[in-house]
Structure 1
């Protein structure tokens, strides 16, 4: 056995052992919304449990995003979950969320790991700051074809998010997609987004579903269970301008 292969096998064995020993805690029981609440102004999008998954689809005439939101808040953590997206469903995984003012365009904002419905951009696994009718990309996948190819529609995809202090790391199907340093949100619930849908939207979009399952979290001994990434850490650009939401 050559040395590079031996080293790779040793690393794989170490990571596998570390994962098996990790004190994961399930956040979703697969049966009902225990530990979760639905957040969003009325009328809300459809959000329910079906076939062991948190399931949602957009409904026309919903003026705001609707969220599956944990009742518990988290600061530093490692989160894993699986997501299945059919059609052009616009969604994402928010964390360290905070409540917005009553007159805001959305009830929650925070860091969002984007699940990107665009077949050309393909920035699933990038991170942006989501706050109502405006958003600010903090890390895109613009020049990373490996990351852009990690996610596929109509298949279950595994997401891993590590949020430890100001260091944020993301993997999609085992592929590192983001490694960001940012002094922003520090603590809050985790929320899974169902996008708002104007009354004049295409009714066919209502058939598209988003499903989340196998949601679990680590909140202790994170340094031991954190995974290495070959993406260099990127400091968020403090001069980047807020872009209007399309």
Structure 2
């Protein structure tokens, strides 16, 4: 009887330790089929084409459901010009302004743009380039991977698996993920979006 009890306690201990030490796992942010779990704002037209989230025809944002503090997100992105400079972004800890739901999100943006000084991989806050990226590694019309991590006040951005930006900032504590199509005359695309909750 004692042997059986000791064995059961041992198994319970192993299970408890396993769940305690389990690392956060990547979860899909996008189902690959439609925009269930996402909310649009602004003028951009958002749709899913062949498993890709696509934004066109104006400035707008697409917010995902989860509200997180410490997090990591990764995906593949592409911007393409159809007559005007292409510009987009991946937001973290983002919330729509209460006084202007169609305005720029209040949060941190990992910039996606290849035609200005504060280029892909820079960290932006609304209207302001904030954390400098070390190199421009992308170009229009080309898919590339990007990963963003926020833990406490430290934010990091990787482009093509290269760490290009580390910055400390405490203004935005929690919020949604969001995608940005910056203007008309361009296309923004995203696929293979996954995230981790780290807190």
| Shared fold, TM over 0.5 | yes
How many correspondences in the alignment? 174
Shift of 1:89: 1.6
Residue of structure 2 in register with 1:50 after alignment: 49
> Which consecutive unaligned segments of at least 5 residues does structure 2 have?
1-22
Cα separation, 2, equivalents of 1:107 and 1:137: 14
- 2:26 touches 2:195 (CA, 8 Å); kept in 1? yes
Alignment counterpart, residue 157 of structure 1, candidates 122, 128, 144: 144
Please say if 1:126 is aligned against 2:125.
no
Superposition map of 1:162-173 within 5 A: 162-173=149-160
Task: Pick the structure with more strand per residue.
Answer: 2
Residue of structure 1 in register with 2:132 after alignment: 140
Alignment counterpart, residue 66 of structure 1, candidates 48, 60, 70: 60
When normalised by structure 2's length, the TM-score is 0.80
Cα separation, 2, equivalents of 1:98 and 1:76: 15
Q: 1:190 to 1:103 in 2, by over 3 A?
A: closer
SS in 2 for 1:115: strand
Residue of structure 2 in register with 1:190 after alignment: 177
User: Which digits, 9 at most, give the CA deviation of each residue in 1:198-223, with x for residues without a partner?
Assistant: xxxxxxx2xx3211000001114x7x
User: Whose Rg is larger?
Assistant: 2
Residue of structure 2 in register with 1:117 after alignment: 114
Shift of 1:68: 1.3
The two structures, once aligned, show a CA RMSD in angstroms of 2.0
Q: 1:165 to 1:32 in 2, by over 3 A?
A: same
Alignment counterpart, residue 189 of structure 2, candidates 211, 221, 225: 211
User: Which digits, 9 at most, give the CA deviation of each residue in 1:82-126, with x for residues without a partner?
Assistant: 0011123211111111231325771522111111130x6362100
Please say if 1:106 is aligned against 2:103.
yes
